Amino acid sequence: MSDKKRLEEQIEETREKMYCAYMNNVDFLDVLIISQQLDCLLNKLEKLRKEKPSLWESEGNQH
């Protein structure tokens, strides 16, 4: 599995985890921690996009 695909899957899993935590009234601090994890993953994906733009060329204007 490519780094890009793995990051995209981790991002989606973390988004779902954060949403579920929010909907289930989990402690604010716990939701904040999940949000920070998501930010970190999104930053990694952006860094990868800048370092390896060819990974996105085949997708055209989907993003």
3-state secondary structure of 63: coil
CB distance 29 to 59 below 8 Å: no
Per-residue pLDDT, 63: 47
CB distance 38 to 11 below 8 Å: yes
Cα–Cα distance measured from residue 36 to residue 21, given in angstroms and rounded to the nearest whole number:
14
Q: What is the pLDDT of residues 3-61, one digit of tens each?
A: 999 999 999 999 999 999 999 999 999 999 999 999 999 999 999 999 999 888 866 55
